[in-house]
Amino acid sequence: MAAHPGAQALQQALHRARALAVLAYRTPGELEARFGDAAPADGVLGWLDAHGERFARRFDVEAFLRLSASLDAHACAVEGITARTTVVAFAEDLIVPLALADDCARRIGGARLVVLHSQFGHDAFLKEAEAVAAVLSKTLDAEAAA
């Protein structure tokens, strides 16, 4: 099967999209602490390029487009949630801003919003396992006591 005529351009677009996405996953403070005075090509730009390249090699462009369309089309009617709910947010998250998490908690009605802080921004839910586990433990303990 012949490759799509624009396949190389699509791979490059996927590479750049991932690099930009990774940049938004972290905070400026974390990037500064991590790369400091390193030359851009050896520091943050090299890091972003490596992420983009690795992702574009592993991920099929068509699959990415389908996943993206699926995420864009997804809707959740949070107003219909009746279970006791705890919404956890990281104040520094640029992808899911605190205002969005707060709106979600208010729309659920009675949901508890727990705001955590982390230099890791959106990736904090992966990198701050102890903080997230503490919220989960406290929530489950309160549920068991109820």
Per-residue confidence in pLDDT tens, the chain, 146 aa: 445 667 788 889 999 999 998 888 889 899 999 998 888 778 999 999 999 999 999 988 888 889 989 989 988 889 999 999 999 999 999 999 999 999 999 999 889 999 999 999 999 999 999 999 999 999 999 989 98
Residue 40 lies in a domain: yes
Give residues with Cβ within 8 angstroms of 111, minimum separation 6: 81, 84, 85, 86, 87, 104, 105
Domain boundary among 15, 50, 73: 73
Other beta carbons less than 10 A from residue 43's beta carbon = 16
Residue 108 lies in a domain: yes
Q: What is the predicted pLDDT for the residue at 1?
A: 44
Residue 1 lies in a domain: no
Structural domain count, the chain: 2
Domain that holds residue 16: 7-73
Q: Which of 12, 97, 24, 92 is nearest to 55 (CA)?
A: 12
Q: What is the predicted pLDDT for the residue at 5?
A: 60
Contact by Cβ (8 Å): 40, 7: no
